[in-house]
Amino acid sequence: MTKTVTTNAVADPSQYFSLVVTFSEGVFNWQVISRRSDGQTGNVVRNSIYGLSVNIGGNSVYIGDLDWRDYQVGVALRAGSVPLSSCVVNNGAVSISVSGNYNHGTWDSSYRCYGSDTITIVSPTVTLDPNYTLTDDYQGQIVGGITQITFSMSAVVGTVGNTIDSYRLYLDGVQVYNGTSSTGTITALTSAGTHTVYAVAVESNGATGQSSSVSITTVGYTAPSFTKVSSVRWSTSDDTGQSADDGTHAKLTPVYVQSKVGSTSIPTYCRVTITGTSYTGIVSTSGGSLYTGAILLDTQSYTVTYTLYDDFSSVTVVRTDTISIGGRGLDMIHDATDGYGVAFGMKATAGRNDSAYPIRVVELDSSGTILKSSEMGSTPTLATQSLVTRTSGLTINTQSLYIYGRVAFLTLYLRADGATHSGNIFEGSISDYLPINNVMNASYFSQTAIGCSLRADGVLTVRALGSVYLDSGNVVVTFTYMF
């Protein structure tokens, strides 16, 4: 909606003001223009302006004086905007006016140009239907991140003859829909809890109205999760069999936590497939087992894929497992070329002593109780605890302790401090992996010998065997010992 207020004309040449006000989206945008009665515009003969003022709904904007050289006829002198919320509305109307004078050295009422009018503003009446519709709900529950909610809105214009141009939908004060349709959809609410929804309608004259609020409650969705899975070779195609290293059947068992909507568990299923076969099975209860036919070769390993899903959400959770190659705990083989072969936990290869498992060496007492144990895998184990603790002397830059069976390899990098040393340059201790006997070591830093000792009680000492200047780099100490 646009209205133009025209004042009376005074002065010679005859000049007047026009105030153009446009109301849209709840805001009054205005501009005031100086005009000549003969219709000329631009840089033509004109008078100085004094005391120019604009008023929009009780909000007065004082522009003041303009020298005749500082403006042009027909071009906006000033412009601005005023929100409806800050205006005084009387009987559904907002008053607008402009006032100023020409051709006098100061304000003079005899040269006053004045004009006023009103803009009728009556907000539309807006209704938000509380009976919304749901898509992808769970038994009537609104599920955060999944359910879509569609609202119907309606509005009655505040001024007869106008139309409703658009609707808006707000969720917790944030606009989530803006369009010409009277139905708006809220998609994928992401948080559980209570939320407030309201609608706003925009009338063709720019007036807006807001509905009362509708409260909605949403619940969260918890995806399913695995506790564990078990994939073993089996002797039969049903539960009458048993685990068998060379079994050509499989027993497949997933243990999982069901999906939840809010605090309610919902039916959850696990689809099981075996790569390299056409097998697919469904477990509908956590802990339930599937038994396959004779589909496995004892010379091949298989990847088993477990996929959790439910009837409600598109969310899936995947976990894989392995059915190892067939074989006994101990396997032996012989051929004419390579001779005998022995393997533990895998198929034997002629001419080889193979193990698919780490070798564990244990120390037993007379009753068979394990006193100590250690493992030897394919690579040494890096100890992350029980490392060297410094007591005095040089600080430790880095250190490492690798364990392989009952052998330890300890390395210390001590930070040189730019000083001359004799005697002990480092003292510390280690609390675990203690050597069976005292261990001695020696190395050189520059041209000076350094002696090192690691006692059976864990006390470690590094000693300069002469006077040594530690100017840069690291002093590296290593021990390889039995524990």
CATH number at residue 157: 2.60.40.10
- Whether 372 is covered by a domain: the verdict is no
Q: Which of 208, 215, 235 is nearest to 126 (CA)?
A: 208
8 Å CB contact between 270 and 259: no
- Does 234 lie in the same domain as 185? no
- Whether 334 is covered by a domain: the verdict is no
Read off the pLDDT of residues 344-374 as tens digits, 9 standing for 90 and up: 766 678 888 887 777 777 788 888 788 877 7
Q: How many domains does the chain have?
A: 4
- Does 109 lie in the same domain as 46? yes
Q: Which residues pair with 409 in a beta bridge?
A: 402, 480
What single-letter amino acid sits at 73? V
- Does 110 lie in the same domain as 11? yes
pLDDT of residue 442: 80
| Domain assignment of residue 168, given as a range | 125-219
Cα separation, 272 vs 280, whole angstroms: 6
| CA distance readout (Å), 15 to 6, 47, 346 | 11, 8, 107
What CATH number has the domain bearing residue 472? Answer: 2.60.40
8 Å CB contact between 257 and 224: yes
- Whether 347 is covered by a domain: the verdict is no
What single-letter amino acid sits at 412? L
Cα separation, 174 vs 189, whole angstroms: 12
Domain boundary among 98, 120, 142: 120
- Whether 373 is covered by a domain: the verdict is no
- Does 406 lie in the same domain as 310? no
Q: Is 84 helix (H, G, I), strand (E, B) or coil?
A: helix
Cα separation, 448 vs 65, whole angstroms: 94
- Whether 190 is covered by a domain: the verdict is yes
- Whether 264 is covered by a domain: the verdict is no
The count of residues in the chain is 483
- Whether 129 is covered by a domain: the verdict is yes
Domain boundary among 284, 301, 323: 323
| Per-state percent for the chain, helix, strand, coil, to nearest 5 | 0, 60, 40
- Whether 384 is covered by a domain: the verdict is no
- Does 190 lie in the same domain as 232? no
The pair of three-digit structure tokens given for residue 413, joined into one six-digit string: 């990098």
Domain boundary among 58, 92, 120: 120
State the maximum Cα–Cα separation within the chain, in Å, rounded to a whole number: 130
Q: Give me the phi and psi of 263, to 5 degrees please.
A: -105, 5
- Does 234 lie in the same domain as 210? no
User: Residues of the chain whose pLDDT is less than 50?
Assistant: none
Read off the pLDDT of residues 323-350 as tens digits, 9 standing for 90 and up: 877 655 666 777 778 888 887 766 678 8
CA dihedral 5, 7, 12, 14 (to 10 degrees): 50
Cα separation, 269 vs 422, whole angstroms: 73
The pair of three-digit structure tokens given for residue 468, joined into one six-digit string: 């040594």
Q: Which of 460, 466, 465, 477 is nearest to 416 (CA)?
A: 477
Check: pTM over 0.85? Answer yes or no: no
